[in-house]
Structure 1
């Protein structure tokens, strides 16, 4: 290959990596069983009664979400008793562009969003990483006063939280300690359904993957441990979940909206998809859900606007 062409390819590759890498790697590190994960973390209050785990979206901008969580806690008057942790699911591009120790977990592309396994320094599902973070919070020696753990995400982060609420492993130590866990799912582009029913008619032949994970329960990741749809549904409907939907998140052409046929079968835009999914769950569970849908008036696809709204504060902090 000619030298000038090779140089052009290298330049283009470097430019693409720079454009798609995170702007900031979170400074904190949380030690897991076999490595560590990058995190943003708020100053620890003297008495931690609640932990908010806030999950970033596709941009992997954990610090942005950390600041939104801190702002929401301040507005709700909960800063004095709330610790906020924003895990950062770095990918190979981020590690190539920033100085990151080899011991820090990283994933390929967006595979972390569906619970995929890390590529280095060892294989670990993104959901298993969340399991370990949550299990640490149940340690009564380290966190004697924790009464509640809230796992929240907006947009891509909400997709993670919804799938994690569906597949997440039980935490018997938390149950024994009386620690409540709540999931707040704000404006995701799509949801994982439990069967092949969808609210919008579509061509099965032209959309053969409509029921594959992460849109359905076909081809589940190894983390699911062979659970059946019936088992997963029975667990999911018992979870304490809040679906937080912006009433202005109604743009069918939003640049970050999933426009694949698998998502289009769930509705034309995020507000409709969230409403459709909640109605679907109510039909699946006619005896009632331990879940609620809360709509935020005047807010569109805006994570900070969602979490700092009065409705968002109520969802996050129960106020």
Structure 2
């Protein structure tokens, strides 16, 4: 049995629907330095060539995204070599609703989305949690056949993945092991820009936070300590990033769309915002940009539709 399973504590947690907090707590527990991370995890293949880490959005419905990722792997014929992991960033309202051990990590509200610190059992940035999860795959004794780690998210999860791709710490051990890392960002409401330029004219006086984190690089979280906008940009453009955009994700009134002035300065809808962001990167980095945009025809704001489409499978599995 792969040693990976030795660091998972599987528990059976019953859950009931509620008006606040998540309905389902993921059953897995992944041991990090600061506590246990709730995770959903798929069956471990005998030979693991790819790890697909799928990040949920504001609903924190990790199991839904785990199932989508497993479905996409099956459709792509990659289930026999892909391990799917869905970390669950629980918050205080979830802990109030469900019987959870004090050792399980939790955050306040949605602060985990922007790299905020956990409230218990110890302080850990949500991005630091991602670092620890990803970093363990450099162990060639446990994962001798591993070729790549793919970090993907849709909607709110895509916001997390885009910002983690920008701020995330380097993983020299993975590089030394020859393991590639790819980020797949599907239909986020907004992006973190690298300077003060925006594609849409707006009132700076009436939108003072447009360049603050999470929309820009002012007032970065503690996780980014020591980094400057210049160093972050230099690192980000070299990372393997795919922006996956649904061509029908064009509703400016979509209920889950960020309609703040900070987001509207990036475009009228998700498709426009994604196209504008990619063009912005290409203008400034016509030579050294290690990123691409893939559009999915006929699909709107639908995570399952995005990742199981032919274009989504190409982004996730390199097909």
Q: Normalised by the shorter chain, which TM-score bucket?
A: over 0.9
Partner of 2:193: 193
Note the 1:171-186 alignment, pairs <5 A. 171-186=171-186
1:100-140 deviation line (CA, Å, top 9, x unaligned): 11101000000000000000000000000000000111111
Q: Gaps (5+ residues) in structure 2? A: 1-16
Contact 2:238 2:288 (C-alpha < 8 Å) held by counterparts: no
In structure 2, the partner of 1:50 is 50
Distance in 2 (alpha carbons) for counterparts of 1:33 and 1:288: 36
CA drift of 1:298 comes to 0.4
Q: Give the Å deviation of 1:94.
A: 0.5
Map of 2:254 onto structure 1: 254
Pairwise CA RMSD of aligned residues? 0.8
- Indicate the SS of the match to 1:19: coil
- The answer as to whether partners of 2:91 and 2:109 remain within 8 angstroms in 1 is yes
Using the alignment, how far apart are the partners of 2:144 and 2:99 within structure 1? Answer: 35
Task: After TM superposition, give the deviation of residue 284 of structure 1 in Å.
Answer: 1.6
Question: Secondary structure of 2:54's match?
Answer: strand
- DSSP 3-state at the match of 2:80: helix
TM-score when normalising by structure 1: 0.94
Secondary structure, counterpart of 1:39 in structure 2: strand
* Counterpart residue number, 2:123: 123
Q: 1:10-25 counterparts in 2 under 5 A?
A: 18-25=18-25
Paired position in structure 2 for 1:144: 144
Give distance in 1, aligned partners of 2:166 and 2:193. Answer: 10
Q: Aligned partners of 1:292 and 1:242: how far apart in 2?
A: 5
- How far apart, CA to CA, are the structure 1 residues paired with 2:45 and 2:90? 27
> 5+ unaligned residues in a row in structure 1: which ranges?
1-16
1:106 aligns with 2:106: yes
Q: Supply the distance in 1 between the matched residues of 2:247 and 2:91 (Cα, whole angstroms).
A: 32
The corresponding residue for 1:60 is: 60
Number of equivalent positions: 303
Q: Quick one: distance in 1 between partners of 2:63 and 2:18?
A: 18
- SS of the aligned residue for 1:314 comes to helix
User: Following the alignment from structure 1 to structure 2, what is the Cα–Cα distance between the partners of residues 225 and 143?
Assistant: 31
Structure 2 counterparts to residues 74-93 of structure 1, below 5 A: 74-93=74-93
Q: Kindly report structure 1 stretches of 4+ aligned residues shifted beyond 6 Å.
A: none
Give the structure 1 partner of residue 14 of structure 2: none
SS at match of 1:230: helix
- CA drift at 1:286: 2.2
Please report how far the alpha carbon of residue 144 of structure 1 lies from its aligned counterpart in structure 2 after TM superposition. Answer: 1.4
- Deviation of the 1:283 alpha carbon: 1.2
- Bigger proportion of residues as helix: 1
